[in-house]
Amino acid sequence: MYAVIFTATMKLADDEYFETAARMRELALSRYGCREFTALSEGNQEIAISYWDSESDISAWKSDPAHQQAQRLGREQWYASYRVQVARVERQYQQGGESL
């Protein structure tokens, strides 16, 4: 399992941003094999973590045309700065709630 950790400082969060973020989440889950997608924001900070079975799923998602357009708008309009990390989940444990 891979986790893509996206952390950003927002510059502008307008209606188009929220609509696009919701659409991108849905697209990742429905068409690209994303296993889980969690995003939180507090003040102008955002963290989004998505989970994937393989690096090739991540690459396919990154290359989706609608996602490419969203990434361009992110760079140009919405984010003051951001970082993307691809990490391999080596182990996990949990208490309560649902299993992955």
The reply on whether position 90 binds a copy of itself by CB under 8 A is yes
CA-based nearest residue to 37, from 18, 45, 28: 28
By CB under 8 A, is residue 49 in contact with a copy of itself?
yes
Closer to a copy of itself by CB, 31 or 83: give it.
83
Q: Which of residues 58-87 bind a copy of itself (CB under 8 A)?
A: 75, 79-87
Residues near a copy of itself (CB under 8 A):
3, 5, 7, 9, 38, 40-42, 45-47, 49, 75, 79-97, 100
